Amino acid sequence: MLAELPKGWRAGRLKDLCESIERRLGTNAKLDILSVTKRGVIPQSETYDKEIASEDISKYRVIKPGEFGLAPMALYYGAIGRYRGEKPAIISPAYNVFKHRSETDPRYLEALIRLPRMIARYEALSQGGNLEGKRKSTPYDAFETIKVLVPPLPEQRAISEMLGSLEDVIAKTESLIERIAQAKRAAMRELLTLGIRRAKAPVKRMSTHWVLGRIAEGVTHIPVDWELVTLIKVAKLESGHTPDRKQPTYWDGSIPWISLQDADALGRLTISETAETIGPEGLANSSARMLPAGTVVLQRTANVGLASIMSREMCTSQHFANWICGPTLCPQYLQQVFRHMSREWLRLMAGSVLPDIYMDTFKALQILVPPLQEQKKIGEVGAAFDRRIEHERDTLELFVQYRAALAQELLSGRLRLPDSVIARHRDKPEKAA
């Protein structure tokens, strides 16, 4: 908080802005079940692959549209938010429900309680926890005692409108990215099974059964000049390794070493920089191998399916399957094949405790191989889609950063909106939640 109150603001606590609601389902008809996460209040189906509610849900709390949910046991990392659904639902009895008070703008309250500095306060107030610092709890009565600075209602509304305009831009950018991704999926499915000629391509029935590595279901015919082959026949498969962490000299160097920390970089067409590097000793005393530029690196654990192309010599940890393409296979084409195989990766991970695809599976992977020039054209089309998606994602990240920085300044009073902007919100009736 500021040492000096902004003019017109008052010092208060969160309980001055919101009030707890005690409303149980009882014997009423069953409602949709929600979870309270760091993403906010969302359908339970988006968090778990099955319903995890107990048989007796009579004590579950009812939450109405516009109200807020709070998870005490996960509040320390930001499990709080506003319910944006259109009909009442229920949340676990372990959660809390609250609503904004009459002199509080709900959008302002939503922005305030999700600020990073507020989440830091929740953690400071948390109690308990195991050795890993988890299972801590922040009781609702502690949450509502947090000190805040409270602007007049018209200024709250003006701040909400300003932040809301950026949220609208963020939502539109996210929607645009999804539309481009959908267009790419539709285009690449056709290109990766029929090629550049598409429906005009003369076809033949596949002589070999397509078992692993399928681009799509139900493909029985391919262009006459294509072949279905085992991938290791046209590309060399290499794994990686992690040098001994206990040997500092192994990590003293500038050799790029791709690890799970490089997920963002692996989402781009090429990768040249890594979060960690190793030294010559680390390379010499481990099973890590120096791989040439043009190697297609595929993540096989955690975020399975991320695929990029090394723009220079690099090595990787054991969490990647690396492919050095032979003379009949274009790296850009292989990258697009991997990026289009999201459903296949999910199928191949089935049954694993952790997201993981074993190296033996990759040795049996099959791939459609068009003539080299056609591979290059297909790769170029896919890369054009990806470059546009990368550009929009970069733009989205900037908008998100701007919104976070602006919220921090406006909600602390360090930045004030012009009175002419605030004036438009005076003498307005309270908006519905």
Q: What pLDDT is stored for residue 45 in this prediction?
A: 82
Q: Please tell me whether residues 135 and 41 are part of one structural domain.
A: yes
The pLDDT value recorded for residue 217 is 86
Q: Which domain-ending residue is among 369, 394, 422?
A: 369
pTM here is 0.84
Which residues does the chain have with pLDDT short of 50?
1-2, 131, 432-433
Predicted pLDDT at 51: 54
In a domain? residue 283:
yes
C-alpha to C-alpha distance for 318 and 115, rounded to whole angstroms: 37
> Per the domain annotation, does 234 fall within a domain?
yes
Using CA atoms, how far apart are residues 312 and 15, in angstroms rounded to an integer? Answer: 56
On whether residue 415 sits in a domain, the answer given is: no
Q: Which residues lie closer than 8 Å to 217 by C-beta, 6 or more apart?
A: none
The H or E element containing residue 68 is: strand 68-70
Residue 122 main-chain phi, psi, to 5 deg: -60, -45
Residue 82 to residue 429: CA distance in whole angstroms = 21
Residue 372 is predicted with a pLDDT of: 98
Whether 310 and 227 map to the same domain: the answer is yes
The answer to whether residue 399 sits within a structural domain is: no
What is residue 426's predicted lDDT score, i.e. its pLDDT?
A: 84
- The domain boundary, picked from 369, 390, 425, lies at 369
Q: Would you say residue 318 lies in a domain?
A: yes
User: What is the CATH classification number for the domain harbouring 242?
Assistant: 3.90.220.20
| Domain co-membership, 202 together with 133 | no
pLDDT value of residue 376:
98
Instruction: Report the length, in residues, of the chain.
Output: 433
Residues 363 and 237 occupy one common structural domain: yes
Query: Which amino acid belongs to residue 30?
Result: K
**Segment 2-49, tens digit of pLDDT:** 457 999 999 999 999 999 999 999 887 889 999 999 999 999 988 655
pLDDT attached to residue 433: 39
Note down the domain range covering 221: 196-369
Same-domain check for residues 29 and 138 = yes
Q: Are the C-beta atoms of 60 and 24 separated by less than 8 Å?
A: yes
pLDDT 10s digits, 226-276: 999 999 999 999 999 999 999 999 999 999 999 999 999 999 999 999 999
Q: What are residue 349's phi and psi, to 5 degrees? A: -85, -10
Cβ atoms 236, 261 nearer than 8 A? no
- Looking at the structure, do residues 346 and 285 belong to the same domain, yes or no? yes
Residue 423 located in a structural domain: no
Residue 281 covered by a domain: yes
| Residue 29 tokens, joined | 């008809």
Q: Please tell me the total count of domains within the chain.
A: 2
Instruction: Let me know whether 140 and 203 are in one domain.
Output: no
